[in-house]
Amino acid sequence: MYYFISTTVTMASSNIFQFMLSLYVLKNTGSATAFASVLSIAVIPNIVMIPMAGVIGDRYNKRKILSTISILYTIVFISFGTILYYGKSFNLIVIYLLVVILEILEVFYNGPQDAIIPQIVDEEHMAEANSVSQIDNNVVSLIGPLIAAFLYESFDILGGMVIGSVLTLISSVLTCRIIIEREEAKLSTSNKNSIFKDFKEGMYLIKDNSLIRKITILPPMCNMFLGPILTIVMTYFLVSVVNLEATKYGLYKSLISAVALLGPVAAFNIIKKNDEKKIVPIFIGGISFLLLILTGVIYLSYSGFIGIEPMYIMTIIIVGSIFIVVTIYNIANNVVRQKCVPIEYLSRVSSFTQALSSIIMPVSLMIFGILLDNFPVYISTTVGVIGMLLIFIRAKSMFKNE
């Protein structure tokens, strides 16, 4: 229970601040390219730190790692809140530095966060545990934007800093209360090997195991097209093109999260009745179909065939449905990984998947940012549809004999 509460609190602080940061950058620059560059700068710590983060997550006590990083989050929020308060004017360099530091902390947090689940639940309950964890994340996404929009309009970016520092401090205390039911396996050479050698062992496992290799490369492939659409494309469309006010955009984000709460419930029932390896490609196909419908709605909005209010409602329904399908896909993929990867390698495998996403995403974000600055939004979503359809075809082939 403490695991779910503590990770939810940490996610809440991150969710609130990142939402406010997106409004802050767009408000001060008005450029999708500048917005994308802020997100893309995160590639630097990911490339450098992820090998180390994966090894540390496997070597050391995961509960202590999570607690320590929560405290570091608190320190960062307080420090940069002070800098922004006394700096007064907008400074993109400071934003870049903040994003880099937060990304480093996130890298070291995410590996142990996922890898600790097999230590606190039995294998037969992993689907339920992942579903509950996803429900927690969706609840955070539901209330986070509303809180963030209120704080941003009332106190600007500093409100997010204050809330973030308080929440992460609470998370650190709660993490210390997590009860470990299953001790992690110890590698006899772990403390003797260098970080590079330990990381290479994890890479050999991925290379030699067909199933692990597939579940490692598939999420980054999907994120390459889906990630930019759900972040900069829809944010740019609603905030800069449609000119939604902050509170209405916050309502949009919260309603999507409310609809997405159905995802973990559906995932539990679907995974319980089906082989999770077989359903992964099916849901990638579902995402492709929903993106196609979203593209049609955006095109009709540009053409003047539908007004802002109908477009707003349809966008919430379609994007909410995408989040439901993505949630089911993510849970199924996590369950496959947690079952087939030995626990002593789990942080390294998870970190490597994050590394691939981190290397691919900045390039993808910049490409979509340039598309947004030079073409109508529906061109960007069309590119996403084509990409996801190609991944669906490939995924069907990859999992055919598993």
Helix ranges (H only) for 209-307 are: 210-228, 234-235, 246-260, 262-273, 276-303
Asked whether residue 186 is domain-assigned, the answer is no
Count of the separate structural domains present in the chain: 1
Asked whether residue 182 is domain-assigned, the answer is no
pLDDT of 42: 63
In the block, tokens 């939402």 appear at 19
pLDDT of residue 311 exceeding 50, the answer is yes
The mean per-residue pLDDT over the stretch 397-402 comes to 70
Asked whether residue 136 is domain-assigned, the answer is yes
Integer Cα distance of 372 and 377 in angstroms: 6
More confident position, 143 or 64:
64
Query: Encoding tokens for residue 18?
Result: 């990142």
pLDDT in tens, 31-51: 767 766 766 676 677 667 776
Interacting residues of 156 by C-beta distance below 8 A, sequence separation 6+? 24
Q: Minimal CA–CA distance to 148: which of 299, 323, 343, 14?
A: 14
Asked whether residue 374 is domain-assigned, the answer is yes
Q: Minimal CA–CA distance to 316: which of 148, 142, 147?
A: 142
Residue type, 136: D
pLDDT of 188: 40
The mean per-residue pLDDT over the stretch 11-18 comes to 72
Asked whether residue 237 is domain-assigned, the answer is yes
pLDDT of 148: 72
pLDDT of 89: 66
Greatest C-alpha distance within the chain: 66
pLDDT of 348: 77
CA angle 233, 28, 144 (to 5 degrees): 60
pLDDT of 291: 94
Query: Residue 386: which pLDDT band, with cuts at 50, 70 and 90?
Result: very high
Query: Encoding tokens for residue 59?
Result: 């070597």
Integer Cα distance of 197 and 214 in angstroms: 23
pLDDT in tens, 190-236: 454 566 777 777 778 888 888 888 888 888 888 889 989 988 899 88
Reduced to 3 states (helix: H, G, I; strand: E, B; else coil), residue 160 is: helix
Range of the domain at 72: 2-176+191-398
Query: Residue 125: which pLDDT band, with cuts at 50, 70 and 90?
Result: low
Asked whether residue 183 is domain-assigned, the answer is no
pLDDT in tens, 322-376: 988 888 888 888 888 877 787 777 777 877 777 777 778 778 888 998 898 899 9
pLDDT of residue 121 exceeding 80, the answer is no
pLDDT of residue 167 exceeding 70, the answer is yes
38 and 167 Cβ atoms separated by less than 8 Å: no
The mean per-residue pLDDT over the stretch 99-110 comes to 79
What's the burial of 401, exposed, middle or buried (CB within 10 Å: 0-12/13-18/19+)? Answer: exposed
pLDDT of 204: 80
Query: Residue 299: which pLDDT band, with cuts at 50, 70 and 90?
Result: very high
Q: Which of 62-76, 139-153, 245-259 has the highest mean pLDDT?
A: 62-76
Q: Minimal CA–CA distance to 368: which of 36, 42, 14?
A: 36
pLDDT of 278: 77
CA angle 90, 92, 97 (to 5 degrees): 120
Length of the chain: 402
pLDDT in tens, 62-78: 778 888 888 888 888 88
pLDDT of residue 183 exceeding 60, the answer is no
Query: Residue 136: which pLDDT band, with cuts at 50, 70 and 90?
Result: low
pLDDT of 189: 44
Asked whether residue 181 is domain-assigned, the answer is no
Determine the number of helices (DSSP H) and then strands (DSSP E) in the chain.
17, 0
Integer Cα distance of 234 and 355 in angstroms: 24
Q: What CATH number does residue 351 fall under?
A: 1.20.1250.20
Asked whether residue 103 is domain-assigned, the answer is yes
Integer Cα distance of 316 and 297 in angstroms: 11
Interacting residues of 229 by C-beta distance below 8 A, sequence separation 6+? 291, 368, 380, 381, 384
What's the burial of 191, exposed, middle or buried (CB within 10 Å: 0-12/13-18/19+)? Answer: exposed
Integer Cα distance of 109 and 219 in angstroms: 19
Q: Mean pLDDT across the chain, nearest whole number?
A: 78
Cα-based distances in Å from 196 to 192, 202, 224, 388, 402: 11, 10, 27, 34, 31
